[in-house]
Amino acid sequence: MATVPDADRPILLWFRRDLRLADNLALQAAVASKRPVVPVFILEDDPPVRGPGGAGLWWLDKSLRALTAELETRGSRLVLRRGEARPVLDALIEQTGAASVLWNRGYEPGLDARDQALAETLQARGVEACGCEGKLLLDPGAVRTKTGGPYGVFTPFWRTASELIPPLDLQGPPKAVRAPEAWPQSEASADWKLHPTNPDWSEGFDWTPGEAGAKASLRAFLDHKLETYPHDRDRPALDGSSRLSPHLTWGEITPRQLYCAVQARLAAHGLESQAQKFLSELGWREFDYGLLAQQPALHREPFKRTLSGLTWRTSASDLEAWRGGRTGYPIVDAGMRQLWTLGWMHNRVRLITSSFLVKHLLIDWREGEAWFWDCLVDADPANNPANWQWIAGTGADAQPFFRIFNPVTQGEKFDPSGDYVRQWVPELAKADRRWIHAPWSVSEADLAKAGVALGRDYPKPIVAHEVARARALEALRATRQAA
Ligand SMILES: Cc1cc2nc3c(=O)[nH]c(=O)nc-3n(C[C@H](O)[C@H](O)[C@H](O)COP(=O)(O)OP(=O)(O)OC[C@H]3O[C@@H](n4cnc5c(N)ncnc54)[C@H](O)[C@@H]3O)c2cc1C
């Protein structure tokens, strides 16, 4: 171990899904200690929880570069290592003589448990180690019903949680981060090959990963979208929501920062109902982390077991048609193609496409969850499985299985002009708004006027809505009878 005076022994600042400098409590503690700081990111070979999917790795690649640049302007660096967390940290402690290791908590039960065990091992060796807060507005364990249990219904959860959020005193990024005498070696992120190849399907990703991109999205949201958010957030053809989800997922901005920014806007300009609507969406994120705390295997195990006996269909061709946006239902296909092109899908269309897989195709929600996990830049360990379970009727406060969205009326309601479909399904670019959500319902002559022949340019529906609906309800009836 390097021999250095005790006050100069560095702190290892372990970045994970918290790739920011502002409102970073672990970084603040490290800088406040006045010790040298060695920022490190470990690409874990054997993570205790699910690692990022393809789109997530794309994001991580760019976000690490952005974080490195931010640290360099403050006289610091980001040390990159690949391997198992424990031996990598051991080696870094050995090489730098670090006195402590700090990180921000992840609130994934498997991750927190591993971190806790790691902290105990390090502390037993005289190395201070601890995880800080900040990823959520509140620790999920802090929001309890009157009887002391966790909430299973969102509205009372958020009412209680809103009252518990303390006044927040946020700090911006530090001006400088003290460098160690000597830097440990770093790997090059280019060698990790996080950018997708074969195929590189990221060409359409129009994102700016990193803290500056997060701040720009927040500014654009406050200045141009907040006022119309309650209405526009449900219109997929409009750019009406914040698009902050990947930045939140990767910890480039915190819900605490969003909460304070929206409260400040509220104080300055009114906008009470708009602000409350947006904050309640952040509330769903908090709620989902509460569910994950109760069911750590949320992406594999139903939160509620009431539908455990449901018999799912296996159909590779239907699954492929859904993934590829070739179901013959324009709003579903538009959503699935938006997902593939942007690594993101509008919330309303996530609801429609997930419902279509689970109910119209009667395919296990876990198949859809896994596809979203791989394709979404915002794939989140709590939000993704919790929302899939909400749709599948197995989640907390979930939509009952017998409520089956009709993709045609959903399209007509939320994409009345058809512009969203026209953007993502160019085969239907010339379709009339009166039939764009149900092209099979008009004559071949009408279709021909829009340059479409069904079955040639655009698929016929892979299943008729009424047939699918009856099949799903029959599966539900059989499950209930068997129970
Ligand atoms: C099947 C399905 C899968 C989903 N998977 C994810 C996922 O992996 N990651 C993810 O962040 N969100 C997920 N969502 C929730 C939601 O679709 C996205 O958070 C939202 O579309 C992101 O866009 P935005 O940032 O513009 O949202 P905004 O409307 O601007 O909302 C602001 C923030 O609130 C949170 N939020 C909004 N809606 C929800 C919600 N329903 N549940 C939990 N948090 C919410 C997000 O952090 C979001 O960034 C999923 C929804 C469904 C139906």
Atom of ligand 1 nearest to the CA of 282: 34
Q: What is the distance in A from the centroid of ligand 1 to the CA of 148?
A: 28
Contact 156, 5 (CB under 8 A): no
Active-site residue, 440 included: no
d(CA 79, CA 184): 7
Q: What is the distance in A from the centroid of ligand 1 to the CA of 347?
A: 6
d(CA 228, CA 27): 36
Minimum CA distance residue for ligand 1 atom 21: 347
For the chain, domains (ranges, CATH) are 6-134 (3.40.50.620), 136-166+211-294 (1.25.40.80), 316-482 (1.10.579.10)
d(CA 101, CA 132): 11
pLDDT tens digits along 342-377 = 999 999 999 999 999 999 999 999 999 999 999 999
pLDDT tens digits along 441-453 = 999 999 999 999 9
pLDDT tens digits along 261-283 = 999 998 888 888 999 999 999 99
Whether the per-residue pLDDT at 378 is higher than 80: the answer is yes
| Sheet with 128-132, edge to edge strand ranges | 79-83, 37-44, 11-15, 100-104, 128-132
The response to whether residue 135 sits with its C-beta less than 6 Å from ligand 1 reads: no
d(CA 462, CA 458): 11
Contact 257, 105 (CB under 8 A): no
Residue with tokens 């090059």: 188
Q: What is the distance in A from the centroid of ligand 1 to the CA of 375?
A: 14
The model carries a pTM of: 0.97
The response to whether residue 285 sits with its C-beta less than 6 Å from ligand 1 reads: yes
Q: Could you tell me the two tokens for 96?
A: 């730098």
Distance of CA 25 to the CA centre of its chain: 22
Percent of the chain with pLDDT over 90: 93
Whether the per-residue pLDDT at 3 is higher than 70: the answer is no
pLDDT of residue 244: 98
